[in-house]
């Protein structure tokens, strides 16, 4: 029927050009064409070419997609410079920072930092001792210096029963200490609790393990242990109470490390 009406037939075959409706049959002339709409949806917003569109009498505005910002890594704990911090594994959620007074001093402080959603939370600052002659970047057997560096903390042990640590704990009479220290102080009880510092050793073994992957001339048996009131031969020592607290706090799932050295080395 409609095909017999010339006017209707003519409108039925009117060609569509550039995605627009025939004159007089589509939306107002200032409405965007298909290409402009596609660009806007794809994020190519041009406010001059694509004004607000009225849909049912209400203004409609196209917006570019929002991008989720990347998480920002927390700033390092105080006293750690960029070179030192670069050696700390990004996965580590617990960092024990041992700061020596100076290169040749045997006195230090130790602070455990734990990663939170807003940065690093500091624990209590504890007095500590390190080796008699201070610190070195290239530890050798018998140099009486503690090795600077970043080392994992994976294994613990002691003469006394496990105080409740989540680290593997080896209780053994082999942790018995005797004799006197450099200042004449008794060493008994120094190894009641120890945490192996993974310098020149095999992680996953007892602190008593004698394997030395770097060779025996590079020393070994570097531990965190109970302070006996004087310098050590290479270890770091803390009070008995702080050692028990540290053993209970360290969580292998958080991949704890110790960052140790004199203050100037740590600030590199």
Residue-wise pLDDT for 206-240, tens only, equals: 999 999 999 999 999 999 999 999 999 999 999 99
- Give the pLDDT band of residue 68 (cuts 50, 70, 90): low
What pLDDT is recorded for position 18?
A: 44
Q: 164 φ, ψ to 5°?
A: 115, 30
Q: Is the pLDDT of residue 3 over 90?
A: no
Of 2-16, 75-89, 90-104, 172-186, which gets the smallest average pLDDT?
A: 2-16
Instruction: Provide mean pLDDT across the span 250-265.
Output: 98
Backbone angles phi, psi at 30, to 5 degrees: -90, 5
Is residue 267 scored above 50 in pLDDT?
yes
- Distance from C-alpha of 83 to C-alpha of 184, rounded to nearest angstrom: 38
Q: Which residue has the higher pLDDT, 20 or 143?
A: 143
So what's the pLDDT on residue 16? 44
Q: How many whole angstroms from its chain centre is CA 236?
A: 23
Q: Which residues contact 55 (CB under 8 A, 6 or more apart)?
A: none
Give the helix/strand (H/E) hosting 245: helix 240-249
Instruction: State residue 74's pLDDT score.
Output: 80
Q: pTM of the predicted model, to two decimals?
A: 0.74
CATH number for region 82-266:
2.40.440.10
Distance CA 192, CA 141 (A): 24
- For 25-37, the pLDDT digits (tens) are 454 445 555 544 4
Give the mean pLDDT of 113-129.
97
List the chain domain ranges. Answer: 17-68, 82-266
Q: CA-based angle 252:159:97, to the nearest 5?
A: 40
Structure-token match 């600030």, residue found:
267
Residue 69: predicted pLDDT: 56
What are the tokens at 177? 């200490």
What residue has token string 């965007």? 32
Say whether pLDDT at 11 is over 50: no
The closest of 210, 198, 208, 200 to 250, measured between CA atoms, is 198
- Give the Cα separation of 250 and 93 in Å (integer): 10
pLDDT reading at 205 higher than 50: yes
- Cα 53 to Cα 67: distance, rounded to the nearest angstrom: 25
- Total length of the chain: 268
Q: What is the pLDDT of residue 8?
A: 38
Q: Enumerate long-range contacts of 71-75, CB under 8 Å, 24 or more apart.
A: 74/115, 74/118, 74/119, 74/120, 75/119, 75/120
pLDDT in tens, 146-202: 999 999 999 999 999 999 999 999 999 999 999 999 999 999 999 999 999 999 999
Residue 43: Cβ-neighbour burial (10 angstroms; 0-12, 13-18, 19+): exposed
């Amino acid at each position: 029927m409609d095909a017999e009406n010339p006017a209707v037939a003519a409108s039925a075959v009117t060609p569509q050009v550039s995605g627009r409706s025939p004159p007089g049959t589509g939306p107002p002339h200032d409405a965007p064409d298909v290409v402009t709409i596609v660009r806007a949806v794809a994020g190519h917003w041009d406010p001059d070419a694509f004004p607000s569109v009225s849909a049912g009498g209400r203004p409609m505005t196209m917006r570019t997609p929002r991008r989720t910002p990347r998480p920002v890594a927390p700033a390092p704990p105080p006293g750690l410079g960029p070179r030192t911090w670069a050696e700390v594994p990004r996965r580590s959620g617990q960092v024990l920072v041992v700061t020596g007074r100076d290169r040749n001093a045997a006195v230090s402080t130790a602070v455990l930092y734990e990663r939170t959603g807003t940065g690093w939370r500091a624990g209590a600052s504890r007095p500590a001792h390190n080796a008699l002659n201070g610190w070195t970047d290239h530890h050798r057997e018998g140099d009486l210096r503690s090795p600077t560096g970043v080392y994992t903390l994976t294994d613990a042990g002691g003469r006394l029963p496990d105080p409740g640590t989540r680290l593997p704990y080896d209780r053994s009479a082999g942790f018995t200490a005797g004799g006197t220290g450099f200042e004449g102080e008794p060493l008994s009880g120094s190894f009641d609790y120890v945490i192996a510092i993974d310098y020149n050793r095999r992680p996953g073994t007892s602190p008593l393990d004698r394997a030395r992957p770097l060779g025996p001339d590079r020393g070994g048996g570097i531990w965190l242990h109970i302070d006996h009131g004087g310098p050590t031969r290479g270890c770091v020592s803390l009070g008995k109470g702080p050692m028990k607290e540290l053993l209970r706090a360290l969580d292998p799932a958080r991949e704890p490390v110790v960052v140790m050295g004199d203050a100037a080395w740590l600030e590199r």
